Amino acid sequence: MWEWVESLGKDWEDGIQAPPLVLVKGSWKGILTLGMGGSAFGAEIVRTWSRPYLRLPWEIVRDYRIPAWVSAHTLVIAASYSGNTEETLIATEEALRRGSTVIGIASGGTLREWGESGKLRGFIPLPSGRPPRAAAVFSLLAQFRSLEGAELIPSSWREEARALPPLLTGPKHPDTSELKQMAELWKGRFIVLYAPPEYEPVALRARQQIQENAKHLAWHHVLPEMNHNEIVGWDFPSPLLKEKVAFWILSGSHTHPRNMLRIDFMENVLYEKGYAYVRWQAPQAPHLAEMMWLFQAVDVFSVYLAEAHKVDPTPVPVIDRLKRFLAQAP
């Protein structure tokens, strides 16, 4: 897993040099991404970055069914690293039946066959040979290229993207020694992640990576919403539970100023209550670069946490077992 985590800078630079997907522009009224896990995660980053520019609603579906509004006026991005994710394939078939413009993103499998046979309106092949979560950056960049080619977002994402590699290798790179220490201290704790909307995809990524790589339970929530409910739940954990939970707050310079005040308040309350917590803020940079800097930090942490648990971060045996179970079902 370390090889793939540490290759982010190279993968990123290679990906941002790839051209946009050539796509005939349609009369779209909405965008739908179909995907699961790391394949769906790419849409979270791109959708969050696109909010100031995108004039169409964009929904991400992690399921077999698609919304009733999906039609011939919908741009659908079907993302499955393996190309065989059953939820994605079933949902994609329904989108095709409704006449949607469907773009495929995959390294192989059925989805790649559909793309290369012309069944889909467009297709971007991904490099193969990785677990899907270790290839999330490929799907992410492919979705940027798709929307740029559809003339739905500006090409300025590439300029922001170029700010990332220097952050990963320069003096402001994520502090791996601190991340390793956090993993050792938190290996027996339930990990709760908080982030403002501008950085929520990274909190989601952290939860997914902690769970898959470290086989460790984690949770995430977004503020200001959690300030209206979950913050009250800090009052009455048992003394035993208080020693078994840790909080990680993720943010950056593009956080709304009012939410920065909320984070300051939350940090004070966590301190007063004696909880274990850390606050990580990305170094000031373009929004996309900040999100991906945090992306790298949480990925590194998840592998250190796996090492602290003495587990191999790559295999996910219970997911493999589930797939075998489903394959045998009628």
Residue 146: what pLDDT? 95
For residue 329, is it within any domain?
no
Ranges of residues in the chain with a pLDDT under 50 are: none
Strands of 196-244 (E only): list them: 218-222
Residues 194, 250, single domain; the answer is yes
Residue 249: what pLDDT? 98
Q: Out of 127, 162, 197, pick the residue that ends a domain.
A: 162
Residues 21, 105, 127: CA angle, nearest 5 degrees: 95
Helices 287-309 and 176-186, axial angle in degrees (round to 10): 50
Residues 205, 291, single domain; the answer is yes
Residue 241: what pLDDT? 79
Residues 151, 199, single domain; the answer is no
84 lies in which domain range?
2-162
Residues 117, 199, single domain; the answer is no
Distance, in Å, from the CA atom of 263 to the CA atom of 246, rounded to the nearest integer, reads 16
Tokens describing residue 57: 């609603």
Q: Clarify whether 184 is annotated catalytic.
A: no
The pTM of this model reads 0.95
- Give the HSE-up count for residue 231: Cα atoms under 13 Å, Cβ half-sphere: 16
Distance, in Å, from the CA atom of 153 to the CA atom of 178, rounded to the nearest integer, reads 37
Neighbouring C-beta atoms of residue 166, cutoff 10 Å? 14
Residues 6, 150, single domain; the answer is yes
Residues 190, 154, single domain; the answer is no
Dihedral sign from CA coordinates of 190, 196, 197, 203: negative
Residue 16: what pLDDT? 94
Q: Out of 162, 195, 211, pick the residue that ends a domain.
A: 162
Residues 117, 77, single domain; the answer is yes
Residue 132: what pLDDT? 87
Distance, in Å, from the CA atom of 219 to the CA atom of 296, rounded to the nearest integer, reads 18
For residue 201, is it within any domain?
yes
Tokens describing residue 119: 């069944």
For residue 326, is it within any domain?
no
Residues 89, 220, single domain; the answer is no
Residues 30, 13, single domain; the answer is yes
For residue 325, is it within any domain?
no
Q: Clarify whether 323 is annotated catalytic.
A: yes
Number of domains in the chain: 2
Percent of the chain with pLDDT over 90: 87
Tokens 């994520």 identify what position?
174
For residue 205, is it within any domain?
yes
Residues 78, 222, single domain; the answer is no
Would you say 283 and 172 are in contact if contact means Cβ atoms under 8 Å apart? Answer: yes
**Active-site residue identified among 44, 160, 212, 307:** 212
For residue 250, is it within any domain?
yes
Tokens describing residue 264: 């300051």
User: pLDDT for 11-31, tens place per residue?
Assistant: 999 999 999 998 888 899 999
Residues 130, 193, single domain; the answer is no
Domain CATH code at residue 183? 3.40.50.10490
User: pLDDT for 140-168, tens place per residue?
Assistant: 999 999 999 999 999 999 999 999 999 99
For residue 324, is it within any domain?
no
Q: Is 297 exposed, middle or buried (0-12, 13-18, 19+ CB in 10 A)?
A: buried
Residues 220, 302, single domain; the answer is yes
Residue 238: what pLDDT? 73
Dihedral sign from CA coordinates of 157, 159, 163, 165: positive
Would you say 70 and 42 are in contact if contact means Cβ atoms under 8 Å apart? Answer: no
For residue 314, is it within any domain?
no
